[in-house]
Structure 1
Amino acid sequence: MEIVNRIKREIKKAIIGQERMIDALLIGLITEGHILLEGVPGVAKTTAVKTLGKVLNLEFKRIQFTPDLIPSDILGGEIYIIEKDEFRVKKGPIFTNLLLADEINRAPAKVQSALLEAMQEKQVTIGEDTFRLEEPFLVMATLNPIEEEGVYNLPEAQLDRFLMKIVVEYPDEKEEYQILKLVTAQEGISNETAEKPPQPQTVAGKEELQQLKDALRHIHVDKEVEEYMVQLTMATRNPEKYGIPPHYIRLGLSPRATINLYKVSKAVALLKGKDYVSPSDILIHIKDVFRHRFIVSFHAEAEGITTDDIVDMIVENVPMP
């Protein structure tokens, strides 16, 4: 679709490569699903979310998660106004369109729980009052996979509320060179040109985003394709039926996995400009939808088997229509 192409063109003025991450962020917005980004520092996770907000004219806020963070730092709270002898609600940074939860696993469980209501119900309770969050509302959370000190494991209930978990890889050599040229030109320290590269501009807004959501509803999914999605999920609950060692999986996928795979597959077809979902569309982001939703066993960990490896086994063993 032309709207999608315009958005991507503007984002790519600030982001080199990382096509998978850009597509995932767009899919999250279109399907109203939250995105978890895992990657080492410096691979443009924050820049991508901030640029997306600018291109779509959406309000963007960032919270740096730390061990001393408390729920009111995110949600807001009631403050006492001495002059008027009354309490007034001061809304926190969660009242926005795009919320970047940076290094979300650094905050304790109480803070993680405070996000659950907002992520699932799209509302926040402060004191006795409940406030609806403005649409669209999307949480883009980042994880740093290399540090173990001062981090907390995210609750399974919260992980399951993320539409996808994207592993953001290093750029390749060619992309690294392009990043170097872009950043040095933007900062005015390049010795090759005095002109700064064009900056991303706002090319769409909430109205265009709603058009994409409306178009998503008209994407056709054949019954055989829907059954294929169900079988992919069931393979994590009954692995022996599909020739997968049952001792590799400790906890299979919930129905939310199938629902989210359905949403993502339709969004993939939409981004391709198609009006139907093919089996190949399902497989593009299947690892991103599945990898954070089921738990591998200690046997699998001992053998170096990851969730991504098990998803590969599932795709290989479940017959494609």
Structure 2
Amino acid sequence: MRAPAFWSAPPQAPGWQAHALRPLSALYAAATTRRVARWPDVHPQVPVICVGNINAGGTGKSPTVIALQERLRARGVEAVVVTRGYGGRLAGPVRVDPARMTARDVGDEALMLAAFGAVFASRDRAEAARAAEASGCGAILLDDGLQNPAVAKDLTLVVVDAAVGFGNGRVIPAGPLREPVAAGLQRADLLLVIGEAADRQRFAARWPDGPLPRLEATLEPLATGMDWDGLRVVAFAGIGRPAKFFATLRNLGAHIVEAVPLSDHQPFAPALLNRLSRLARQKDAQLVTTEKDAVRLPPDFRREVLTVPVRLRWIDARPLDAALDRLFPAERAR
């Protein structure tokens, strides 16, 4: 499902569609307010760091979770990721095992994250948090947990894509937000803005600094030694913003002869796989996709596809490190 164009309108002029949908948005926002007001079901004895967003769709949460897990590991803290396992069939709680599980079992994001550290997936976040704590971890990273009150949080980061911002500032279905910006930020400790310098500047102009400390970061392709310059590719992506992936490929020097945007988490049905293979043959091009999409591909098909891994690079992580110092006073970055 594609986001409607009016979701990206300026907050000062959200469009007539947004005004017409205001009553439904009010109901959606009220339901979210009631849900997040619930008392947590579990209070883990280890610090819980929540990585969430206010926008529906992708903002860069998964790369942020990976970067946080690595940053904590550098401090000597082994963090376990707790996630819902969106798109997976297993109710959980289950420890994600990439060697014997597929995206159909636990969802693409959980499977991808499990390549970097321990992950527990469950539709019941409280049960997953209990399982994670019982595993002996030093911290819990709660993936996409801003609107989920089941687990008490010690530190909350709200992640936003600088190029998209908070859209027209309206709640679903009048806009792209799960809840009003002010309400979401009120429950957060840090705002992480991800994007290129120009996009971050535009975001800052459109959404001036508020009471939250603001972090900035970019998503950069991992150096793998692959020579992309001039390579003819058929690129496909089922992430929150496929255009961002296509732009990354172009910046690497690849020649995109066909770009195939897919819906976030879209299943790879046989007909779609056949279409992609046919396109690559017709265009005499290499199939390329994202890490998240790759884990949903059948193993035989995956061998035909290149991936472009991206990692989060902090611009200034001092506010984050200060917060981590408070949570883990006995450990300091090496």
- TM-score between the two structures when normalised by the length of structure 2: 0.27
Query: 1 or 2, which has the higher helix percentage?
Result: 1
Q: Which has the larger radius of gyration?
A: 1
